[in-house]
Structure 1
């Protein structure tokens, strides 16, 4: 064995070919092709021998060749159109992709993932993947208001599942959806704070233009009106800890600051709690905090943060299984995931 670093270049392993299988099995290349593609023309004994040799050599079908022959690529696509700097700090997508991958791995289907700047760039990726037959279907996240993606994917005939309910009136019967009821979840948070005695509540929301952001803002406004809360509002951010902290500073600088803040993710909630600590504002003594998605961050922060709990990995598994079902000929449908439930912890209490 040559020791590393002596300047000797290692020859890359060569991928086994149909010719290698034919030579090892003692048959013609055409017989190998028939056997591996399940076509008639060879005996069962030859078919078994060829497949055994292919497995021994570690042979795998070429994805480009399969695409040209009309076979599936064995790959599902996921494009994320969000600022790249926000991905490393938010646990939601890591958990979601974990669930997606778990479901796909059970079927030996690969996940092709790409991050782009905006929805136009995402649409371009979908067109390219469709033209190159790179993926059998796609998962779509972050539904927008006036979203062009469902119509595009339907026109391409590319099976898709949208994760998250579309904006009201923008349902596309040609594209499946998997969603959770953000409206009911927001209502449960607001009622929890109202029952504790809070009357000045601010919502630090995520990216404007996302269907779920607009839905949460709209629900907050509706529920606040129903409860007679006149000092309740929403501000939008990019979901990052930096913008969450900056929004918290502006909110706390108000002449009449809120007694409770709802954050649209765990990272912003922890950043907000840090800002409160910097200013000597006790949580929950003078400020109650609620995080939209629960995570280990919420449970290790002191005080532990009240949060909405949902099975995000399960959400990803559900979406991936729905797309696999579409690829197997299943119908287009809308599937509602389990409603997130509020887990009260030490960060919420009656206002002093």
Structure 2
């Protein structure tokens, strides 16, 4: 027999004719709520047999009602990379339910980044989300020393204490890269290149390693790799470097859409047709990628969902619930029109 569904804060809000944020305010006392509205909410909660959860009570007594997000990258990337806007949107959806806000900081040096975390720990935020995880990331020790609750967003499942015991929301980037290489090889490409992200980022390294492994599986040489930095300028420069070779690749797999889009533009400027002369693929499924000519084959990372999961996990950490690592299983290849057979090459069957 199915157990009756427990009432939620949303049920209380609808029953009382108010928003979920107002329900949170009535219980937290952070901002004034009229006595009439407060009583209506309490009456609705009693009638529905709803009580504020441990997490809600803990969040109600948090110091700031805000979480921090510090991005240590070139401002161009923050402004143009599709992942960030979608991820922030997902964060805000959950934060709004708890009447909380997001404090975004963009920094350009490790020293500036450290100072921001110190300010956040000094009462400006209740916790932080750690993006762009690096190999042996120094932020893990920093936030723990500062006593600042944190959740890590990574491109691989942490093993052996890699994230120093911090709760981690992770994806698995390897299968998507493997599929893209397989699609290119199946179309007949043998000279496939990779414009990678910086190797000191975990997700840049994972995608590069996945490319090399997938090329080996196809019996192809995976050494044709040029490192970019996720900006359009680096994508253009890397593409020029590859196309200037005596034996240029007939297909290029880029580590993000921004580099792929600039590579597409450079190819067009040189009179190359995509995909007839050059096949390309991106990563992150930016809004623009579907409206290019041709539309860009890319990878959707479920950035909105990852933002929601990251905030939910962080709120649990703030509330003392000791959350576990969580797999954000939303990474999928989005086939479009930018991959085809190279000129004069018969379709080959992947092993």
Say which SS state the counterpart of residue 207 (structure 1) adopts.
Answer: coil
User: Is residue 291–residue 305 contact of structure 1 (8 Å, CA) maintained in 2?
Assistant: yes
* Offset, 1:223: 2.2
Task: Say if 2:255 is the partner of 1:264.
Answer: yes
Equivalent in the alignment of 1:67: none
- Which protein has the larger Cα radius of gyration, Structure 1 or Structure 2? 1
Deviation string for 1:81-112 (max 9, x for gaps)?
A: 10113222222101111111111111101111
Moved over 3 A (4+): 35-38, 47-52, 165-170
User: Is residue 267–residue 297 contact of structure 1 (8 Å, CA) maintained in 2?
Assistant: no
Q: Which runs of 5+ in 2 are unaligned?
A: 1-25, 40-60, 344-351
| Match 1:161 to one of 151, 164, 176 | 151
Deviation string for 1:224-249 (max 9, x for gaps)?
A: 22322125432111211111111111
| Match 1:305 to one of 296, 302, 323 | 296
Q: Which runs of 5+ in 1 are unaligned?
A: 1-34, 39-46, 53-69
* Offset, 1:218: 1.4
Hey, what's the Cα distance between the residues in 2 that align with 1:231 and 1:336?
28
State the aligned residue count. Answer: 292
The CA RMSD measured in Å over matched residues stands at 2.4
Equivalent in the alignment of 1:24: none
Task: Say if 2:65 is the partner of 1:74.
Answer: yes
Say which SS state the counterpart of residue 128 (structure 2) adopts.
Answer: strand
TM-score normalised per structure 1: 0.77
1:280-299, aligned counterparts within 5 Å?
A: 280-299=271-290
Q: Which has the higher contact order (CA 8 A, sep 6+)?
A: 2
Hey, what's the Cα distance between the residues in 2 that align with 1:129 and 1:296?
32
User: Is residue 174–residue 332 contact of structure 1 (8 Å, CA) maintained in 2?
Assistant: no
* Offset, 1:169: 4.9
Equivalent in the alignment of 2:22: none
Task: Say if 2:90 is the partner of 1:106.
Answer: no
Hey, what's the Cα distance between the residues in 2 that align with 1:71 and 1:108?
12
User: Is residue 292–residue 308 contact of structure 1 (8 Å, CA) maintained in 2?
Assistant: yes
TM-score normalised per structure 2: 0.77
1:235-274, aligned counterparts within 5 Å?
A: 235-274=226-265
User: Is residue 70–residue 107 contact of structure 2 (8 Å, CA) maintained in 1?
Assistant: yes
* Offset, 1:273: 0.9
Hey, what's the Cα distance between the residues in 2 that align with 1:165 and 1:265?
14
